[in-house]
Amino acid sequence: MAQLRLVRPRALDTIDKIKAMGSFESGGGQRFPYTYEQVFEGLLKILPQNRFKVKSRDKDIGRIECSSGAALFSWGENISISVEEIDPYSTRLSIHSSLKVQGTRQAVISGEGTNTRPVTVIVSALSNYLRTQKKPVRPAISEAAVPPPPPARSLSFFIYIKDEVKGPFSAAQIKALLQVDSVTPTTPCIPEGSQEWQTVADFVS
């Protein structure tokens, strides 16, 4: 069982050290698939319901300052909540909780993570509240928004005439050579990048 002991600090820096020992910050924040408006207003609803006193709020910068009352093992906690819009359909919540200093005495509990409970309570209560809200729906991507595939690259060909490899030629150019009898359907022909010789007739009719 955690032991409670009261410490009378000798200087202000001692209080600061005690506060640092009792701090907790949710790692990386919690992402909710709801709008900024839904998350911020949800917090203002669930905090008083769970015995947190809202001391200040600023919707423009996404900040809520609140506190919890004294409990068996502490004088209570100061809690800072940051709300950040990721996109129009999701929001990130970050919570920092630190133990209060009451006069010249500070409640210190042996053990780690003892002041994470308010963070858990807030996240759980907010999650339950948001389940009653309608999730924002991302618009479907229409076919018109999908870029068309790049046009197919036209093939180029090399032909073997009079003991020489000539080219590259397009299919249209080889067809024109056929019409003036500069090449024949049996003239060796190979597509650019290929390793296998074939004939003009295999590619151009």
The mean pLDDT of 40-68, rounded to a whole number, is: 94
Asked if 112 contacts 102 with a C-beta cutoff of 8 angstroms, the reply is no
Q: What is the pLDDT of residues 124-165, one digit of tens each?
A: 999 999 999 999 988 876 655 667 777 766 789 999 988 899
What share of the chain in percent tops pLDDT 90? 46
Q: Which residue has the higher pLDDT, 4 or 179?
A: 179
The mean pLDDT of 45-54, rounded to a whole number, is: 94
* Average confidence score pLDDT of the chain: 77
What length does the chain have?
205
Q: Give the model's confidence band at 118: pLDDT under 50 very low, under 70 low, under 90 confident, else very high.
A: confident
What CATH fold (topology level) applies to the domain 4-130?
Alpha-D-Glucose-1,6-Bisphosphate; Chain A, domain 4 (3.30.530)
State how far the Cα of 79 lies from the Cα of 94, in Å rounded to an integer: 10
pTM (predicted TM-score): 0.52
Q: Give the model's confidence band at 86: pLDDT under 50 very low, under 70 low, under 90 confident, else very high.
A: very high
pLDDT at 8 over 50: no
Q: Where in the chain is the domain with CATH 3.30.530.20?
A: 4-130
| Residue 122 neighbours by CB distance under 10 Å | 25
Q: Classify residue 189 by burial, with Cβ atoms within 10 Å: 0-12, 13-18, 19+.
A: buried
State residue 114's pLDDT score: 44
State how far the Cα of 118 lies from the Cα of 131, in Å rounded to an integer: 20
Asked if 189 contacts 202 with a C-beta cutoff of 8 angstroms, the reply is yes
Query: For residue 90, what are its two tokens?
Result: 């999701």
State residue 152's pLDDT score: 65
Asked if 203 contacts 192 with a C-beta cutoff of 8 angstroms, the reply is no
State how far the Cα of 15 lies from the Cα of 105, in Å rounded to an integer: 9
State residue 193's pLDDT score: 87
Asked if 27 contacts 93 with a C-beta cutoff of 8 angstroms, the reply is no
Residue type present at position 126: L
State residue 61's pLDDT score: 93
Asked if 173 contacts 205 with a C-beta cutoff of 8 angstroms, the reply is no
State residue 109's pLDDT score: 29
State residue 50's pLDDT score: 93
State how far the Cα of 26 lies from the Cα of 92, in Å rounded to an integer: 11
Q: Which residue has the higher pLDDT, 28 or 163?
A: 163
